[in-house]
Chains A and B, each alone.
Chain A
Amino acid sequence: MSRSINVALIGNPNTGKTSLFNRLTGLNQKVGNYPGITVEKKEGLCKLDRGLKAHILDLPGTYSLNTSSLDESVVVETLLNKNSKDFPDVAVVISDIENLKRNLLLFTQIKDLEIPAILVINMADRMQRKAITLDIELMEKELNTRVVLVSARKNQGINALKEAISQYKTLKTEPCVNSSVIDPEYFSRLSKVYPNQQLYKLWLVITQDVNFGKVDRGRDYEKLKSSNFSVKSEEDLKKLQHKETVVRYQFINGLLKKVLHVDTVHAKDLRSKLDRILLHKVWGYLIFFFVLLLIFQAIYDWSEYPMDWIDQAFASLSQITAESLPDGPFTSLIAEGIIPGLGGIVIFIPQIAFLFLFIALLEESGYMSRVVFLMDHIMKKFGLSGKSVVPLISGTACAIPAVMATRNIEDWKERLITILVVPFTTCSARLPVYLIIIALVIPDQDIWWFFDLKALTLMLLYLLGFAAAIVSAWVLNKILPIKRKSFFVMEMPAYKLPMFKNVLITVIEKTKSFVLGAGKIIMAISIVLWILASYGVGDKFNNAESIVKEQYAGQDVEDKIIEQKIASHKLEHSFIGYIGKAIEPAVRPLGYDWKIGIAIVSSFAAREVFVGTLATIYSVENIKDEDKMNETIKNRMRAEVNPILGGPLFTFASGISLILFYAFAMQCMSTLAIVKRETNSWKWPAIQFTAMTIIAYFAALGAFQILK
Chain B
Amino acid sequence: MIYLQYILLAIAAVGAVLWLFRKSFFPKKYDSGNCGDGDCGCH
Contact = CB atoms under 8 A, between A and B. Distances in A.
A401 B35 CA distance: 8
Contact of A670 (B27, B34, B36): B27
A586 B34 CA distance: 41
A490 to B, nearest CB: 7
Give the size category of B's interface with A: 20 to 34
Interface string A403-419: 11101100000000000
Interface string B18-38: 011001100100100111111
Given A331-B5, A524-B16, A394 B38 contact: yes
B37 A408 contact: no
B36 A407 contact: yes
B20 A524 contact: yes
Given A328-B1, A521-B20, A669-B24, A63 B12 contact: no
Interface stretch (A258-266, A307-315, A525-533, A613-621): A525-533
Contact of B35 (A407, A670, A677): A407
Grouping DSSP codes into helix (H, G, I), strand (E, B) and loop, the A interface class, with mixed when no group exceeds half, is: helix
Contacts of B34: 404
Contacts of A66: 42-43
A329 B9 contact: yes
A521 B24 CA distance: 10
A677 B19 CA distance: 21
A43 B9 CA distance: 67
A633 interface: no
Given A397-B37, A405-B35, A330 B12 contact: yes
A405 B9 contact: no
A554 to B, nearest CB: 35
A152 interface: no
B5 A326 contact: yes
Nearest to B32: A677
Contact of A401 (B6, B16, B36): B36
B40 A408 contact: yes
A68 interface: yes
Contact of A63 (B8, B30, B43): B43
B5 A521 contact: no
Interface string A382-412: 0000010011001001001111110110000
A404 B32 CA distance: 9
A407 B20 contact: no
A214 to B, nearest CB: 14
12 contacts: A68-B33, A242-B42, A329-B2, A329-B6, A329-B9, A330-B12, A391-B36, A394-B37, A527-B15, A528-B20, A673-B27, A674-B30
Q: Which 4 A-B pairs have the closest CB atoms?
A: A328-B5, A405-B36, A404-B36, A401-B37
Interface of A: 62-64, 66-68, 241-242, 245, 326, 328-331, 333, 387, 390-391, 394, 397, 400-405, 407-408, 489-490, 520-521, 523-525, 527-528, 531, 605, 669-670, 673-674, 677
Interface of B: 1-2, 4-6, 8-9, 12-13, 15-17, 19-20, 23-24, 27, 30, 33-38, 40-43
Given A394-B36, A404-B37, A405-B40, 17 more contacts: A66-B42, A245-B42, A326-B5, A330-B9, A402-B36, A403-B36, A404-B30, A405-B36, A408-B42, A520-B19, A524-B16, A524-B20, A528-B16, A528-B20, A531-B13, A669-B23, A669-B24
